[in-house]
Amino acid sequence: MKRIITLLSLLSLILIFQVKLQAQTILTLEKAMEIAAVNSPSIQGALFNLQRTTETLNAQRAGLKSKFALSLNPIDYSNSRKFDNRTSAWFTNKLINSSGTFRVDQPILATDGKISLVNTFGWQSNTSDASGYNITNKAFYNNLYLSLTQPLFTYNRTKVALKTLELNNENAQLSYSMQKLSLEKTVSQLFYNVYMAQMSLTIREDENVNTQKSYEIIKNKVDAGLAAKEQLFQAEVNLETAQSATASARVALESAKDQFKQYIGMDIFEEISVITDVAVTPIEVNGKKALEHALASRMELRQRQISIETSQFDLIAIMAQNEFRGDMSLSMGYAGDNETLANIYDKPTKSPHYGITFNIPIFDWGQRAAQIRSQNAVINTQKLNYSNQDIQIKLDIRQVIRNLGNLKDQITIALDKQKNSQLTYDINLERFKNGDLTSMDLNLFQVQLSTSKMDYAQSLINYKLELLNLKIQSLYDFTTNQPIIPEHFLNAKATNK
């Protein structure tokens, strides 16, 4: 019976262990990128901003099309006492009215004007009682007219508004593309942080195992009287230190995982593990090509241009304050009324209307001139920002090229260091087993070996991250020799040349 219980307990532990393994998600860098591209809060924010500007632009473009509207007034009744100034007499007026208006408005993008077709149809019953006389009129009526309103001697506000929204949308598209590149860099950095934390834990666990073996060796020697007892005390200290370092590495790994999962948008309670091949073959990078491609393609430069253009549109609006301006309105229509609907236009009435108004500023105490100078300062600032951005791109590319050369040397040095540390540890382990080395000295060689392993892995990761940084800085992938410029950005650059 006890064997059965023991066997069942063992099977339960195996099942629990298998469930935990199945519940753990294994992530590669590519899989993490896919998750982050969908769930990352930063990329979602950029996407929402892109959607907002796109829909705002769509709404503005839709506003340039013909608008159809119908307003109905099914019933309007009033009974009021009024005073007639012509006859100096009071009279009672009762009105019953029912009408509807259909209109079509068409904005004119080329001139910033608007043309409208309006038709009002209705029926009314009007009764007036004055000085004992009762007068009643019942009739159908219709008023159809075509009108044009056109601003004069001013800028085209509709075109400027449309162009501003187009620039805002392009800016949002650039920000979204830049955010995706930034996402790739940050996800890679956090992913490798988890990888290094996993590696550190593995190394610490190996140290713990080696230190445990060393402790057992020295304990057996002390028990046999072949070594001093103080060596056993030192071995115990080394073992406790290794155990503490392993526990700290486990905590650091969990913290790195939480930060990584939060950034890519995963459930922070989901168990994960990362796998990757950090091996990398250093490549030759053409610094001149990287710099030329960056200056021709960097989206930040286009964003600076957009800021300049937007500021210039703001200047146009400021210059239009207190401006000399005219407004012209033209309309032509026919109105008719009759008691019989079929005869409503028996005697039509033409209803033309023409009007021109002017706004003539006289003196504003220098307000407009001061605002223009202020906006010119804003434009100059934006131009200065563009120049600084251009210089910063050149500095960044040059720095990345230098870093890649240095990191390539660091990989070679770290590999040699790891090989030498491994050989040194193996030799001194044999010396320790033969009693020619204390546990404290062996522990120093163990730490040196662990550090060299971490340094080599970190040098490989640093090189990979710097290659990724070069791709982001130059918008060119030198590992595949392919540009990564978004198509919409290429179109925008071609349009603005």
Convert the pLDDT of each residue in 209-257 to its tens digit. Answer: 888 888 888 888 888 777 777 778 888 888 898 899 899 999 999 999 9
pLDDT band at 485; cut points 50, 70, 90: low
DSSP single-letter state for residue 81: E
Q: What are phi and psi of 71, to 5 degrees?
A: -120, 135
How far apart are the C-alpha atoms of 495 and 488, rounded to whole Å? Answer: 11
Whether the per-residue pLDDT at 321 is higher than 90: the answer is no
Q: What percent of the chain has pLDDT over 90?
A: 44
Per-residue model confidence (pLDDT) at position 227: 74
Higher-pLDDT residue of 436 and 398 is 398
Do 91 and 80 form a contact (C-beta atoms < 8 A)? no
Of 331, 330, 333, 332, nearest to 357 by C-alpha is 330
Per-residue model confidence (pLDDT) at position 261: 92
pLDDT band at 16; cut points 50, 70, 90: very low
Q: What percent of the chain has pLDDT over 70?
A: 92
Instruction: State mean pLDDT over 311-340.
Output: 90
Most confident of 53-57, 76-80, 348-352: 53-57
Q: How far is CA 282 from CA 205, 317, 442, 454, 465, in A?
A: 31, 54, 35, 19, 12
Of 60, 111, 18, 179, nearest to 327 by C-alpha is 111
Element (H, E) at 87: none
pLDDT band at 491; cut points 50, 70, 90: low
Which domains are present in the chain? 25-55+162-311+375-496 (1.20.1600.10), 67-108+113-154+324-360 (no CATH)
How far apart are the C-alpha atoms of 112 and 155, rounded to whole Å? Answer: 8
Per-residue model confidence (pLDDT) at position 103: 95
Do 148 and 115 form a contact (C-beta atoms < 8 A)? yes
Residue type at position 54:
T
pLDDT band at 258; cut points 50, 70, 90: very high
Instruction: State mean pLDDT over 363-378.
Output: 90
Structure tokens at 45: 């924010």
Per-residue model confidence (pLDDT) at position 132: 67
Structure tokens at 68: 């159809």
Instruction: State mean pLDDT over 315-336.
Output: 90
Element (H, E) at 283: none
Most confident of 11-15, 361-365, 377-381: 377-381
Of 8, 22, 51, 99, nearest to 337 by C-alpha is 99
Judged on CB neighbours under 10 Å (0-12, 13-18, 19+), 401 is buried
Which are the contacts of 420, defined by CB distance < 8 A and separation ≥ 6? Answer: 452
SS3 of residue 98 by DSSP = strand
Instruction: State mean pLDDT over 454-476.
Output: 91
Do 442 and 428 form a contact (C-beta atoms < 8 A)? yes
pLDDT, one tens digit per residue, over 125-184 is 988 887 667 788 899 999 999 999 999 999 999 999 999 999 999 999 888 888 888 888
Q: Worst-scoring range by mean pLDDT, 22-26, 171-175, 421-425?
A: 22-26
Higher-pLDDT residue of 206 and 395 is 395
Interaxial angle between packed helices 299-319 and 487-496, expressed in degrees from 0 to 180 and rounded to the nearest 10: 50
Structure tokens at 135: 């007068």
Do 267 and 236 form a contact (C-beta atoms < 8 A)? no
Per-residue model confidence (pLDDT) at position 437: 79
